[in-house]
Chains A and B, each alone.
Chain A
Amino acid sequence: MKKLLLEAEIIENSVVIPQVRRMQLRAPEIAALVQPGQFVQVRKKESTVFLRRPFSIADADTEKGTICIMYRIIGKGSAEMAAMNPGEKISVEGPLGTGFSLGEGRPLFVGGGVGIAPLIFLTKRLQQKKPIVLIGGKNKEETFWTKYLEEYADKIYITTDDGSVGQKGFTIQAIPDLLEKNSIDRIAACGPMIMMKGVAEIAARYKKECEVSMEKRMACGIGVCLGCTFEGKITGRRRKVCSDGPVFPAKEVFK
């Protein structure tokens, strides 16, 4: 798929919760191409950090020509981005990587933390397949994602570490029950590695196809620096998170 490098105008850079921002960018060429699970690498001109920052696409609107990323303010790079205003431009490289396979049947999407962002776009694109979305967060504040999912998801389930909303505990504890009560054909997950490993194990036990979206430190985002590679468990080959992935069959990642 063709990759582009362009200066995109920021249309929105709003506060979702104090540490999370939602940035909408005018990038019609990327919006037209991007598939759920793919990402972009962004960088502010004259940034004080050296490398681009990878963000998965949380939404794309082909009519308006916009793409959306949702990001947590963690370090200098994201803090710089958070300080930018609508009207300013930011360099965007993308779409990058290989996204989710948009297969047949009813899907269950499992997300944790900022890993929920690409699942919004995925749920939107697969709305017809009546996706069930299960999200996990620390507390009630971290479940704001439902606001962006409810338009597209058939059902949303929530777990929180403190039980302040939804089921108390982790997403993986909630999955077996979901699989028993709903007709689900396949699973896709994005979140912390430990969560995705748990999802992959349950999927294998229930004989459901499962994909996971990986995150690893990367520099280039296009498969040249080899900062993000791992050994594929099915293929036995070196796989690049940035270009062969970030989405892989769960068995390629976890055995």
Chain B
Amino acid sequence: MINNRLAVNIAGIQMKTPVMGASGTFGFGIEYADFIDVNGIGAIVTKGITPLPRQGNPGVRIAETPAGMLNSVGLENPGLAVFLQEILPKLKIYDTPVIVNISAGTAEEYGQMAKALDVDGVAGLEVNISCPNVHEGGIVFGTDPKAAASVTRSVRENTKKAVIVKLSPNVTDVVQMAKAVEDAGADGISLINTLMGMAIDIRTQRPLLGNITGGLSGPAIKPVALRMVWQVAQAVRVPIIGLGGIVSAEDAIEFLLAGASAVAVGAGNFVNPRAVEDIAAGIENYLQQKKLQNVMELVGKMCIE
């Protein structure tokens, strides 16, 4: 059922709510079917897919930190072929847009993945140029505007689907990165990916993560994410999917006010597996209280005067 108050169109993808499950925290959506109505959410953003299967990083991959967590999973995934043959058909039973998160080693490979995923059942691509846990690809493209633009162009040229580029916060000037990918043909921008961080066990004097460094997520990063969404919203015309530490409707509303047209819930799903649904309900409640007809009336409406 389409709830008009919450319905949004992001980069050409029609969504029932502005709240989606973020890549790497939402599996392929199916895993949450016991907790939420997967048909009722904004979109499923899949675990990051790479051209070939990846084992991910060795050693401990999760460390809890104040108001959040570090991970060094390192893009463990079954690879493009298994995704297309085994996983995508299962997702087609849902009437929910599927946004496939992709990573690759070169701009050409990103393009090849985009082409292979230009198929039925895929609503859009989230181009991951911001994974802090892999050596090749990932963040290499996410910290250099020229490289980011060339990856974006390569994907753009190979698909008719919505192209959403996921930006890293691990840069000096996120606005420059956003403009570069917008100019290269991105239909939307999601930000932020995790902040690079680390933690040490002082009893053993060893790093808590097997990979030493990892990506920080959770409420700890929310103020940084919100600031970046606000800055980028001033500078680009394409819609923004805001994420970073969202665990409540209040958090999500802040991102909307800062200029995001939709939000994604990441680590918050681990704490509350119903978060995506609860947050959408909370936003609707807020819209009712504020007597607003549609969520888009909130987007970028932070009052500065």
Contacts and interface: CB of A to CB of B under 8 A. Distances in A.
A171 B259 CA distance: 60
A66 interface: no
Contacts of B218: 50
B216 to A, nearest CB: 11
Majority SS of interface residues in chain B?
A: loop
A223 B271 CA distance: 14
B34 A3 contact: yes
A228 B270 CA distance: 14
A228 B109 CA distance: 29
B62 A217 contact: yes
B219 A225 contact: no
Interface stretch (B9-17, B19-27, B183-191, B279-287): B19-27
Interface stretch (B65-73, B230-238, B292-300): B65-73
A93 interface: yes
5 contacts: A51-B271, A217-B60, A224-B47, A238-B55, A238-B76
A217 B61 contact: yes
A227 B27 CA distance: 12
Contacts of A2: 34
A204 interface: no
Interface residues of A, number: 26
Contacts of A120: none
Closest 4 A/B residue pairs (Cβ): A224-B27, A227-B62, A3-B34, A217-B62
Interface of A: 2-5, 43, 49-52, 93, 217-229, 231, 238, 243
Interface size class of B (residues with CB under 8 A): 20 to 34
A221 B271 CA distance: 10
A80 to B, nearest CB: 13
Nearest to A2: B34
Question: Of residues A93, A218, A224, A227, which shows the largest number of chain B Cβ atoms within 10 Å of its Cβ?
Answer: A224
B270 A52 contact: yes
Contacts of B47: 224, 226
Contacts of A93: 273
Given A50-B68, A219-B270, A228-B62, 10 more contacts: A3-B34, A4-B34, A5-B273, A43-B271, A49-B64, A224-B26, A225-B25, A226-B61, A227-B73, A243-B31
A73 to B, nearest CB: 16
B87 to A, nearest CB: 13
B245 to A, nearest CB: 10
